[in-house]
Amino acid sequence: MYKKRYLLPWFFCGLLVGGCSSGFKSLQEKRPTVSLSLPLARVVEAPKHELPPDSVQNEPQEFVFTKADGSEVPLNVTAEWDSINKETMTSVALDEVVIAATSSRNTAERDGKINVEFIVTVPVELQKENWMVDVFPILSKGGVEEDSLRELRFTGPEFRQRQERDYQRYDRFLEGIIPDSVNFYRTFVDYHSFERYLDRLYYHKQGLERIWAHLGARAKRPHPLWIRYQESEKRAFRRDSLLKVHSVVKAEKELERSREEYGKALEAINDTVRYVNPFIRPRFRLFNMKKNRFNNLLESADEKNRVRFKEKTLAESMQETGMPEELYERFLFFNRKMQENKKKLYYKFREKAAKKEGGQSLSAIRAFVSGKDTSNYLNRDELLQKYTMKYEKVRDFLPMFSYERPMDDSTYLASRHRREADPADTVYRSSFGERLLAILPQRKISRELPDSVFYVQPAARIRKRFEEAQYDSAAIYEDFRRWYEKKTDRIKHYDHDVVKERVDNYKKRVLKKQSVIGTEITRINSLDTTEIVKRFYDTRKIARNEARKAQKDEKFRDLVRFPYNPDAKLDTVIYSADKVFFLYSEKIAADENTSRMKVFLKGNVVDHSGNKYKLPTSDTLTYFVSSMTKFVDERPRYIRRVVTRDAEASAQVNFVFPTGKVKLDRRLGDNEQELKRVRELTQALMTDPVYIIDSLTLHSGSSPEGNWKMNEQLSKDRAQSIREVVEHDFKTLYDSLNISMSMMIDDQGNMVSSKAKEELPNLPKLIKVKWVPENWKKLSALIVNDENVQNRNEILALIQSVKNPDEREYQIRRKYRKDYDYIREKLYPEMRSVDFQFSLHRRGMQKDTMYTSELDRVYMQGVELLKKRKYQEALDVLRPYEDMNTAIAYMSMGYDKAALRIMNGQKETAESRYLQAVLEYRLGREKQAVLRYLRACELNQQLKFRGNLDPELSTLIKKYGLFKEDEIW
């Protein structure tokens, strides 16, 4: 029983494997395969123009080709007369050509491409819902098997559904991965906090710098407290004078009011006459009282206007005056009233907005329930914004909501808008209304009372009013004098000794605070943002995302068992119950191995469990390719060359220096390898049989890191250090080469001395050194040519605008941190490199230039490229030459007009006429094509057989029945 427990799992596994492989049992018995065949041949026709509907077809006509011996060959065609264009058009009717099935075909190369066409047939036995048939067309060029054609996939519906489910599972896994295309800074860094920190740090530094500069300026200027003391004394004197004038004006107004009140009380106490008639006298008395009251009112108004005019004239004559208390209280009352009105108006519109919101919400719900569009209903924010705009419009339009009276408790500048005084303005002139009221009858007509009158005593109320209305002008002036003294006592005055002591203490505090702030600014400038940003990394999120990305390929293999092939020629689902035919057409780029090509099929059948069945290899199709490279002119071409005496050679070397050090250490980094490379280049130039060294210039520079002055000294010292090391190496090299060239071995093996024709240059004495502290021009050029710098234009503009190099580098680091990190890592090392520039001249050459004839290697290289069918590269080389090879390159790329233009200027040969015939046919001129082809065949009889390989001329041969006499013979 114990052994059977282990046998059962193996038994079930065997059943599972047998069940999975049983689906391919029928394939193994019948061995069906995907077959390969050629489609029917296509006839290449010349470009045609559509005939107008009123064109008339005429009887067949002839055009004649005249040979070199004078004999004529008639060519029968069908002629059509075009009544619109007034010309005869020819056409030839061809029968349908059916090519029998075969395993080979002649095809032509056109436009640098070869059209490979074949039919792939999938039998019914290979079509199942849970199967996928992979077909791989194999193209063999030049006897080498290449998998250059794209795959074909025929998939069952059930198999495709399984593929889609696998991809859906994988897509769900990918959704949890943050791609590399996202902004690392925005995704894995708490950039809001980091930017806020930098902004706070930057603004804090700016504030400190402003405070530091302000303190320095304040230490140099006169103390502001002393200036305020002087200004305060001036203002106190000015306010005292204004209060004095103001007290006089108020006293006069109070005296005038007391006079008016006394006059009214006196009139009331003197009114003791009464009329006897109870009806007429009261009425007349009433009219007279109204008349007197109206006259008194007009006179008092006139008197007030005159007083007001006098006060206004007096106020305008003064340059400035203080604000009266009544005016201050009045302005305060109106300002409070304005604030209350504004508050009421605001709550009124808020209430309207709330009511509108409730109504629209109900309307929107009704519209939503009825299925209507609810996009026209405003939301809460839009309603609030709408009524807020209405509130602001009303508030700004009416003064009762927006006009605020000025409240200046120190001085009231009454002459702020004073204009130049006009002498006529000092005389009071009655207004139009006053002149109109003066002529009214109410002021002149008086009722005559009857004679019967009686006198009465004034009432107690009138007597009391008369007693209260009595006044003393001296007392009034005395009261306002005391008011003036009370106001002047409130004016503060500074103590001179106290101000002086404060000035001295203040200067000491300013200097001490300036020193503390300068220390803080120095500390902030020394901070490195690279270290600061690490504090804001979300390390857990980064580690989790990296772990998922590392598992991406493994998850794809686990989840997607049968991945799609995006490069497949065809990936389709089969629903047919019969054979499936697919016309495979592919443009193959021509090369030197495409003159003969073979195509066959390989494939597999895969089920949903992953089992595979290898299909038998199909039959092989052979394509014989014809091209225009047969007509390539391989004759050599020579050019006249100019040889110059002087030349240059250069090398860029990257040395590594310790931070802040100037001595070159061979053991540090790749310094030894770089020095070895310089020695090898120098030895090659010193022993070069053609050139000899004139001088060597070392160009040294540094990156913008650190202080500019320090970089200048550092660049200079490092350049001198490199020169010392290089001089030592060059001296050793010079001595060894000088000895080796001066000693030779004769035929007997003895060492003999010899003298060189030209002495070796003493290179250690020819070294020159140049250095640049911070080469910002080179950095700008590197940034322009580097597409990885995202904010390229902004950084270049900043380099141009900021003049201070230290500030320029700091601004780039602060504003464009990601770009700065890339520039520091990739571009700064190139700025720290050393350029070795050698000046050379040819040995034994005295003149500056000389001329020589040599083989045009560029042209011959173009011919070789043309023979290898690399037409675009050949055309780039041969375009300036404008010969037959250039025309072949043009016509192979499809530029037929340019090729015909060049061929028309060539000497007449059989090959040139043949190529012209092909080009004429491509351009739609069949008559010229036939005549040029017959002329080519007349010059070379072999071209008759060549014409059958080119589809253009093969069409003409069949259409016009050319060379029938040769067939009869």
**917-963 per-position pLDDT tens digit:** 888 888 888 888 888 888 888 888 888 888 888 888 888 888 888 87
At residue 721, the pLDDT reads 79
Under 8 Å between Cβ of 156 and 573: yes
Percent of the chain with pLDDT strictly greater than 90 = 0
d(CA 624, CA 105): 6
Secondary structure class of 945 (helix, strand, coil): helix
Domains of the chain: 332-352+382-402 (no CATH), 638-743+759-849 (3.30.1330.60), 907-968 (no CATH)
d(CA 38, CA 119): 6
CA-based angle 4:6:7, to the nearest 5? 60
- For residues 815-819, give the mean pLDDT: 83
Say which residue the tokens 């010193």 belong to: 686
Under 8 Å between Cβ of 99 and 40: yes
Q: Exposed, middle or buried: residue 48 (CB in 10 Å: 0-12, 13-18, 19+)?
A: exposed
What radius of gyration do the chain's Cα atoms show? 55
Secondary structure class of 485 (helix, strand, coil): helix
Under 8 Å between Cβ of 331 and 407: yes
* DSSP, res 924: T
Is 0.75 surpassed by the pTM of this model?
Answer: no
Give the residue, 2 or 143, on which the prediction is more confident. Answer: 143
Tell me: pLDDT of 514 over 80: yes
Instruction: Give the helix ranges, DSSP H, for 439-472.
Output: 460-468
Express each pLDDT in 404-414 by its tens digit: 777 654 444 44
d(CA 963, CA 946): 13
Express each pLDDT in 189-218 by its tens digit: 887 888 888 888 888 888 888 888 888 888
CA-based angle 420:426:428, to the nearest 5? 135
715-739 exposure pattern, b = at least 16 Cβ within 10 A, e = fewer: bbbbbebbbebbeebbeebbeebee
At residue 446, the pLDDT reads 67
Nearest C-alpha neighbor of 922 from the set 955, 875, 961, 889: 955
Instruction: Give the helix ranges, DSSP H, for 82-156.
Output: none
Nearest C-alpha neighbor of 629 from the set 259, 955, 275, 950: 950
* DSSP, res 459: P
Tell me: pLDDT of 378 over 80: no
Express each pLDDT in 682-691 by its tens digit: 777 777 777 7
Nearest C-alpha neighbor of 581 from the set 106, 31, 38: 38
Tell me: pLDDT of 704 over 80: no
Under 8 Å between Cβ of 472 and 189: no
Express each pLDDT in 733-780 by its tens digit: 766 666 555 444 445 444 444 444 456 677 777 777 777 777 777 788
Tell me: pLDDT of 477 over 80: yes
Confidence of residue 18 (pLDDT cuts 50, 70, 90): very low
Tally DSSP H helices, then E strands, for the chain: 33, 25
Give the residue, 660 or 586, on which the prediction is more confident. Answer: 586
Q: Which residues contact 594 (CB under 8 A, 6 or more apart)?
A: 109, 114, 141, 142, 588, 625, 869
Give the residue, 118 or 804, on which the prediction is more confident. Answer: 118
Tell me: pLDDT of 729 over 70: yes
The helix or strand, by DSSP H or E, that contains position 831, with its residue range, turns out to be helix 828-831
Confidence of residue 623 (pLDDT cuts 50, 70, 90): confident
At residue 94, the pLDDT reads 33
Percent of the chain with pLDDT strictly greater than 70 = 74
Nearest C-alpha neighbor of 327 from the set 340, 315, 344, 319: 315
Tell me: pLDDT of 808 over 60: yes
* 261-270, 667-676, 822-831 — most confident range: 261-270
Under 8 Å between Cβ of 650 and 839: no
Express each pLDDT in 553-594 by its tens digit: 888 888 888 888 888 888 888 886 788 888 888 888 888 788
Please tell me the total number of residues recorded for the chain in this structure: 969
How much of the chain is in helix, strand and coil states, percent to nearest 5?
Answer: 55, 15, 30
Amino acid (one-letter) located at 83: S
